[in-house]
Structure 1
Amino acid sequence: MRAIEIRKPGGPEVLALTTRQQPVPKQSELLIKVFAAGINRPDCLQRQGAYPPPPGASDIPGLEVAGEVSAVGAAVKRFKPGDRVCALVAGGGYAEFCCVDETNALPALGSLTMTEAAAIPETFFTVWHNVFQRGALKQGETFLVHGGTSGIGTTAIQLAKAFGARVLATAGSEAKCAAMRDLGADLAIDYRQSDFVEAVKQATDGKGADLILDMVGGDYINRNYQAAAIEGRIVQIAFLRGRKAEVDFSLLMMKRLTHTGSTLRARDIAFKARIADELRQHVWPLLNERQVLPVMDSIFPMDQASAAHQRMEDGDHIGKIVLDMT
């Protein structure tokens, strides 16, 4: 099969089209003929040598795919050859075939294109776990998401609105703020023009945000504490501005804040299966009716994976970047 490999740690140019042995599904696995694969920042980190695949995972990058079931293991019960699926994988997505445990796959709804379906798993699994499971967002609460035009951000805005939250979001230009408002954000904050802490306080009559989803880190950590409400929760999922910061922890105590975080790739199959089950129950009906959708920035052919990574790293994208593997 054709696949994209990382020749050595480095920039987007180190991605290369190669030929690999087609994988064979284990007892509970599906072999997916991949039609499309999502691009995510962890892929870029892996390419740079900063985020190695977990033990047992393929060294081929790619954490989410959509395609058609080509073969199944002997113990598979949920899917059959020919079914359209999308799946969260621990690696191996940038290839013509990929294996995944059947519990980590979901139906690729007929209302979605394959490129749309491939843009769903990584972001929707991440948002569901961190915003609704770990962050415990409730109807009527105020939710602040940083990086509101990323794949994670555009998904978080839509899902938080769909479940009745008030949504505040940050981005770095008026065009991106307009895109966030179009997705349903109640307040779009251009962090280059405004202090998001003051903007959040003003928008909430001084109360602050009940839940903050942060992928920025660095100096945002201290500012998130300032922007959070009493008993507020902050969920950390990345550190684009750095993983170290000087923080006034007295705010953590005085406001009785909860600051937590998570990674998804290294979690076990059963953990991801529980997220998949909740997504099927609560989110798949919204996707089927196209009330919530992945926001598509751009689609690159498989042999232009380097250009897709460059698009990601330039930071100008709004929504998801996807490889067309056909």
Structure 2
Amino acid sequence: MDLSDFSAALSAALADLRYGETPQELYEPIRYSMSMGGKRIRPLLTLLGAHLFTDDWQVALKPALAVEVFHNFTLLHDDIMDQAPLRRGQPTVHVQWNPNVAILSGDVMVVRAYELLFDIEPALLRELLQRFSQTAAEVCEGQQLDMNFETEAHVSIPQYLDMIRLKTAVLLGFALELGARLGGASPDDADHLRRFGTDIGLAFQLRDDLLDVYGDAATFGKRVGGDIVSGKKTYLLLTALEGANEAQKATLHHWLGLNTPETAEAKVQAITAVYDELQIRTRTEALINEYFQDALYHLDAVQAAPTARKALLRGLALQLMERES
């Protein structure tokens, strides 16, 4: 089997998934949100986690859908909080309908995610429901920290890394842990896979930060320099502020204080120039590689999975690290 086989199974299962019919205003936004596509990385990780230990990886299909429905719920509510007009090139749910509809539809998505976990065998159900609930709370903690950082004058690099660990990485780690446990993995092997997924998640988000500044606009899928324009605290900006000399700090603070459409392009160019002087791209790539190597260490530490099946997971991780969008 290869990744396309698992992706095809996911696509078919998602197409068959039902959320409810009436009132239409509650359920249509869910179908709309789930139809927007995306990479489906998290449910794919759940299937691959199961496949590492069993030929009967389909046992993880409904739980994988639970992970994807929950992830899309977080995007739906994040878009409300960020007042984002677009998601994957389409109007966001709160724009297409209204914020109240988006909130309520998101709430139902969480309920549906739990329902999709109910088929887990009784011996594992309590453990995995607890882990799912813990992970869900951590994702919300990460989102709150991200919002806090918007108004905090000083955010340290460790604080930022912890925020993206919670907001982005822990769900990737749980997705793998979930699949592994459903496939029969020992708690130790499942924990190594959780740590593999979390490290990949950290590298994934840092890659996103990097592409926002240094990506190709034609392939990145959104405006290059958007984080700079909005003044978002990213690893690149925090590292620059920490390492800048007085003149560079003055330049950064000057441009960060300018928030008009007319200055946006010049702002991106000026701040990127400081990044270049400080070799921020090289430093970010080095940290991405550090997380990637840590992830591979945990994958290699998994005892009971065949090497050939680990190679699928390693290949997917490499794709994520090399992505341009």
Q: Scaled by the length of structure 1, what TM-score is found? A: 0.30
Question: In terms of Rg, which structure is larger?
Answer: 2
Higher share of residues assigned helix: 2
